[in-house]
């Protein structure tokens, strides 16, 4: 699980960057972007460094974080450019970030050892030397009573680790590479991490697991606030994983007031779209499995569905074509309020990529993560305990709200299938984390999951483990459970928007 939910200095810096970018946007006037030069001095004050070897390096990293938070590309380290280069373009809410979405700030990268077996200085230099005995490559030698590994000979098999009775032989791995289920991270010529953008599906797990905070995704905080400040109403479509993300003072009843104070017109629960997605997938499953398709995979996690279609092209058609809850909710809001804009507020980096597809650009205008919105609350100095408790008007079902927890999507679809065809028994297989999802797809490809409904989630625990979340996963799961319990409707098929489903899919 790494550092998830543990409050670190990296969270602090990220939050400060997001808050400063939000302030810059809320207070923006023609030509005020030159203040970008001063922000790093506010975030990293004084002349003594706190985290890195120098205060200059700390500020340089903050500058690149700011650029990414504004949706701007990283600057080339080898040439001079002001931090605000290109920033004027951000003022237009229509400006969408240039790929890539996930970026490594190279001079913040620690160049971690990439899969290396090492012997720590706690080696007791024992007489038996079992490590040396089991090494198939004679890579272990003893010097001054301590064991050492000749890295040129070592094949990283780990046999020595298994036999050391002191447990002092360790495998050093790069946390970002371990977290990447796509094996998309390798080393550049200086040993720093580099992302193979052809393989990356933007799940953001590397970003959530880098202990040096060297990986960041691009954000649309500035653009979204510019839209809020314009004459166009902007609606916040909030993902079910929002439960408990902002701490105990921001209860579900207060969410509406909180977002209205940020300048949004109103709040709509994406769980409504989850209900519609559920019905669509249930209908597809009943009509296609097993007659036309051997199994069906859920569609709502973009990182999982991109991985499955890309790596298993022969089975790509088995991944549901149903529109995701985000898109269905966006379409619903735009039907009800023509000419408005929609900001999806969620836990996920990959949703930013999904929303940038040409087919979806008109449905969702902005994607912000909970962490980024936290920066907006900070910028507006909103005190959660003073907010009004206005019940969020929603007719979303308990099943729809449960989408954000691993197993929730499959559970919702199965309940819907049971309602349509009570005699149908549906077997379910689910996986979380892209490595596990890949294994599940291999089993499906081998014909071991015929007739199954399979649910893939790129993040641990489901969406509540997304790269843009703030809370510990078990705590978030409890909070989602609470909002599911207060739903007036249990299942997706009780939705009042059923009749709109065919219109929204066109």
Two structure tokens written together for 282: 């249930």
Two structure tokens written together for 144: 């001054």
Helix pair 434-445, 302-311: axis angle to 10 deg: 40
pLDDT at position 161: 97
Quickly state the pLDDT bin for 155 (edges 50, 70, 90).
very high
DSSP 408: H
DSSP 457: E
Quickly state the pLDDT bin for 51 (edges 50, 70, 90).
confident
d(CA 387, CA 65): 31
Per-residue pLDDT tens digits for 400-414: 999 999 999 999 999
Quickly state the pLDDT bin for 392 (edges 50, 70, 90).
low
Phi-psi category of 245—alpha, beta or left, where left has phi over 0 and alpha has psi -120 to 50?
Answer: alpha
Three-class secondary structure assignment of 78-110: CCCCCCCCCHHHHHCCCCCCCCCCEEECHHHCC
- Please list, in sequence order, all residues whose beta carbon lies within 8 angstroms of the beta carbon of residue 27, skipping any fewer than 6 positions away: none
Q: Is the pLDDT of residue 495 over 80?
A: yes
Question: Cβ–Cβ contacts within 10 Å for residue 37, how many?
Answer: 12
% the chain with pLDDT above 90: 83
Q: Which of 61-70, 117-126, 358-367, 448-457 has the lowest mean pLDDT?
A: 358-367
With 0.75 as the threshold, say if the pTM is over it: yes
Phi-psi category of 115—alpha, beta or left, where left has phi over 0 and alpha has psi -120 to 50?
Answer: left
Q: Is the pLDDT of residue 260 over 80?
A: yes
**Residues 403, 300 contacting (CB under 8 angstroms):** yes
Per-residue pLDDT tens digits for 289-317: 999 999 999 999 999 999 999 999 999 99
Which domains occur in the chain, in start order? 9-101+218-222 (no CATH), 116-172 (3.30.70.20), 233-505 (3.40.950.10)
d(CA 473, CA 481): 12
């Amino acid at each position: 699980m790494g550092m998830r939910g543990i409050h670190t200095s990296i969270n602090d810096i990220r939050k400060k960057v997001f808050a400063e970018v939000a302030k810059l946007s809320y207070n923006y006037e023609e030509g005020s972007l030159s203040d970008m030069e001063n922000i790093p001095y506010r975030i990293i004050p004084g002349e003594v460094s706190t985290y890195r070897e120098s205060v200059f390096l700390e500020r340089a990293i903050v500058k690149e974080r700011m650029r990414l938070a504004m949706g701007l590309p990283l600057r080339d380290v080898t040439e001079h450019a002001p931090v605000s280069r290109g920033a004027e373009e951000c003022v237009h809410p229509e400006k969408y970030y240039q790929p890539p979405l996930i970026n490594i700030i190279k001079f913040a990268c620690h160049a971690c050892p990439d899969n290396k077996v090492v012997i720590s200085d706690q080696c007791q230099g024992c007489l038996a030397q079992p490590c040396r005995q089991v090494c198939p490559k004679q890579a272990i030698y003893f010097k001054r009573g301590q064991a050492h590994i000749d890295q040129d000979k070592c094949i990283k098999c780990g046999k020595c680790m298994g036999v050391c009775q002191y447990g002092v032989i360790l495998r050093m791995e790069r946390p970002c590479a371990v977290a990447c289920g796509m094996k998309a991270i390798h080393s550049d010529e200086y040993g720093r991490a580099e992302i193979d953008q052809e393989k990356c599906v933007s799940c953001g797990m590397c970003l959530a697991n880098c202990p040096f905070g060297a990986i960041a995704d691009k954000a649309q905080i500035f653009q979204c606030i510019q839209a809020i400040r314009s004459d166009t109403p902007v609606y916040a479509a909030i993902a079910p994983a929002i439960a408990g993300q902002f701490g105990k003072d921001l209860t579900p009843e207060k969410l509406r007031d909180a977002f209205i104070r940020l300048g949004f017109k109103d709040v709509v629960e994406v769980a409504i779209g989850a209900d519609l997605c559920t019905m669509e997938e249930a209908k597809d499953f009943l009509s296609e499995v097993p007659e036309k398709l051997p199994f069906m995979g859920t569609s709502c996690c973009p990182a999982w569905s991109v991985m499955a279609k890309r790596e298993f092209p022969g089975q790509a058609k088995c991944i549901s074509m149903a529109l995701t809850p985000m898109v269905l909710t966006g379409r619903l809001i735009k039907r009800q309020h023509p000419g408005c804009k929609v900001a999806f507020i969620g836990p996920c980096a990959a949703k930013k990529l999904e929303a940038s597809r040409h087919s979806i650009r008109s449905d969702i205008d902005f994607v912000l993560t909970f962490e980024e919105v936290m920066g907006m609350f900070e910028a507006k100095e909103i005190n959660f305990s003073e907010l009004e408790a206005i019940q969020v008007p929603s007719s979303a079902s308990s099943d729809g709200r449960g989408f954000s927890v691993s197993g929730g999507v499959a559970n919702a679809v199965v309940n819907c299938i049971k309602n349509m065809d009570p005699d149908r028994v549906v077997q379910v297989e689910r996986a979380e984390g892209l490595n596990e999802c890949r294994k599940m797809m291999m089993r499906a490809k081998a014909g071991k999951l015929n007739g199954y409904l399979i649910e893939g989630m790129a993040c641990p625990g489901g969406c509540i483990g997304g790269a843009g979340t703030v809370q510990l996963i078990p705590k978030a799961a409890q909070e989602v459970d609470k909002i599911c319990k207060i739903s007036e409707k249990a299942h997706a098929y009780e939705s009042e928007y059923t009749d709109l489903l065919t219109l929204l899919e066109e």
